[in-house]
A and B are shown apart, each in its own frame.
Chain A
């Protein structure tokens, strides 16, 4: 092994650090630490002058490990790592946070600063170089679902230069939007806006439209997915001119799914005139095989020899845009679905221009299952608006619409649309309808007047909840919607790397929001696929002493571990995010992650007593920085160790810490916020540990605190209370 030549650079940060740390004394102390060959201080290390100083000294003194004792690594870790990137591996540079976690929050902080530097030095002794892996992702994308979201994202991606495979289960693209009469708030004809986009998709040489096709399996990982799709035979080839003669002679009539089964179609049919691809299709389940259609087809487009085929597509990323379906109305019995004249909103949309609505009384029942603990707890988000739209359209056609609502949720500019409906004389009744009876008697209370009433209607339209249509194995929330990594900051990326969620499959959305999310998906995909993918090298590695118990595979949230008892287990590096959960769970310490066990032990052993805090990099570490910035003091005994996630903290780390320190604080995100969803495993392990500690009378020496990255105040309070309790101080 090469000889260690550690250099320590201590920053004054003006008086920010030098104000409460005796830098000169600190330099002298550091010189005595084993393996340290060079120590220097500087007024501002981050300045141009300071950076040059560090760079030159590292070269001159031939240093192979460097500690920068300065501000929080969140500020300048990247600066120094990239500064030294051509002479040192990034893992050989360590920041000792002696500003936010030391000089700003303590007085006479020289001792603690020295402890923090010693901890940093100790880690460097065990640091292993991090190898970055780069690879070129495949420049094509799979889009699942050909609704408005899938169409939008496909067009974007094709324009950006990617090959797009647009897979659609139905015989045509268009999705639910194609079924709409018109769209709010502009009241445009839906098909008039949609069909140009559909043809654009069809004519784009970069987009391969695969209709009548379903995804049957996904293998591989970000940058290189292998997707198996099953393409059902259409029995009509590209020669079809959509003349429609075949359909005219076809003797079979079955309900038309596109029309919510409200009209009839033939066994050879086209779902709607603007369907894309513009070819007829034979429904093999209703076709009787008379072949009358063959005899009238002039261009010889009908081909009964076609077979289902399974294709494999190789793509770099996947966008899921499978949209929504409506909740089953039968499940809300009291609202009368199934009675004549009671429709779902989508059925009514199809019927609007066909029914004679003159003089008809129509009840629009909102929240018919949404915002309902017994059905779907969430707000479906779009029902208020489309019901107002349908009410306006019905009114135009001479009907008398009533809208029964709990709250009209006309967000943003939609309020104008609501006002328009009020102006045009649509009756809004505040009161949730609880029962619809035969004869379409609707029972309600006008809650604004405290008046219980019953009225008869000709039609009742139920605004049923929007439920996800997600036949895809991605992490889901309790309602079955696809789960995005962060609902606000990262709304379209799923927990599976390289898989994105567009449109209604992740939450109820109107067309506008669906399109926004589709554009976002296109941007995220192109960000990922352009150039090379650099894998963060902080993934887990399974070592040879693995006993093949498979626990790691079970606990991994990201499905990053593959294999079985027979062949052993392997980390899929492209998928692993390096949370460290598997390592902490491994019964034989066979999984190495960053930071390694040795590195954590080294820090603990050199903490110089006091209380050790394991801080999650996402939240608690930031919270400690916030506390520093606010100069909120807390006891000096607290010394922080940065970990990628609470789940990285192993029982053995805690036990080790208890050998060298008087208490251990484990601080991480709130369970729901965990960036790896692995928090729960950590909590379970710590609970188990507590049981043993209890027998030793030490259970109060270990505490878990949940906080968010802004909660500096909570951080300080927790540290203060814990340290004071450990040392039985009052105050």
Chain B
């Protein structure tokens, strides 16, 4: 029997509605999302609290948190892969604060990013960020060296940029991550 922790029964499994062909290899997308970190996605009752304060929803992104959760529960997947919304999430975490069921919509957003990355459905801008992270230790490449010099600061900030050892360590770590398996960026 599918009982969840704390004795809360699962929300009616709407994935039946989508009636996807399910093979051994292909799990229900909500299950994958759960494994990718959004464990409580099925607790969502679509109350809309997260949506009401979500900057994405306000700025007109199609699949903001509440809608994304619904879509995933219903079993949509391929339809969502090309959508830019998860990459636009600013990780403000307001949704996590207000969610009455502790779903952590933010985690759903990020689980969706992970899913998209696995499917290589990842924007070129994001790849650029990852490449920069590997190369320089900064996802956003540092500019303004001149300005730093002008105010009397060392040209390079006291981060990976001025510490080759730290950069080496960071690269080691990155090589241990999923990023290396996916081969999204060249890693020497």
Contact = CB atoms under 8 A, between A and B. Distances in A.
Nearest to B56: A452
Given A334-B97, A447-B66, A450-B67, A374 B49 contact: no
B48 A430 contact: yes
Interface string B46-58: 1111111110011
Nearest to B60: A452
Interface residues of B, number: 22
B53 A435 contact: yes
B100 A432 contact: yes
A373 B102 contact: yes
A432 B103 CA distance: 14
Contacts of A356: none
B102 A452 contact: no
Contact of B100 (A374, A430, A446): A374
A358 B159 CA distance: 62
Contacts of A374: 100, 102
A434 B98 contact: yes
Contact of B53 (A434, A446, A450): A434
Contacts of B54: 452
Nearest to B47: A432
Nearest to B97: A334
A452 B51 contact: yes
Interface in A429-450: 430-435, 443-447, 450
Nearest to A369: B100
B47 A431 contact: yes
Contacts of A434: 49-50, 52-53, 94, 98
A371 interface: yes
A445 B98 contact: no
State the majority secondary structure of interface residues on A: loop
Contacts, number: 61
Contacts of A443: 52-53
Nearest to B57: A452
B101 interface: yes
A406 interface: yes
B45 interface: yes
A446 to B, nearest CB: 8
Contacts of A433: 49, 52
Contacts of A207: none
Nearest to B40: A373
Contacts of A431: 47-49, 51-52
Contacts of B50: 434
A367 B66 contact: no
Contacts of B66: 445, 447
A452 B101 contact: no
Contact of A444 (B45, B46, B48): B48
Contacts of B45: 406
A447 B49 CA distance: 9
A188 interface: no
Interface string B92-128: 0010011111100000000000000000000000000
B51 A445 contact: yes
Contacts of B64: 452
Interface string B27-67: 00000000000000000011111111110011000001011
A447 B46 contact: yes
Interface string A437-477: 00000011111001010000000000000000000000000
Interface centre among B51, B53, B58, B99 (most CB of A within 10 A): B51
B48 A435 contact: no
Interface in A206-243: none
A371 B49 contact: no
A372 interface: yes
A446 B66 CA distance: 11
Interface of A: 334, 367, 371-375, 406, 430-435, 443-447, 450, 452
Query: Which 6 pairs between the two chains have the least Cβ-Cβ distance?
Result: A445-B48, A372-B100, A432-B47, A445-B51, A431-B48, A447-B48
Given A435-B98, A445-B49, A447-B48, 8 more contacts: A432-B49, A434-B52, A434-B53, A434-B94, A435-B52, A447-B66, A452-B52, A452-B58
13 contacts: A334-B97, A373-B99, A373-B102, A406-B45, A430-B48, A432-B48, A433-B52, A434-B53, A444-B48, A445-B66, A447-B47, A450-B67, A452-B51
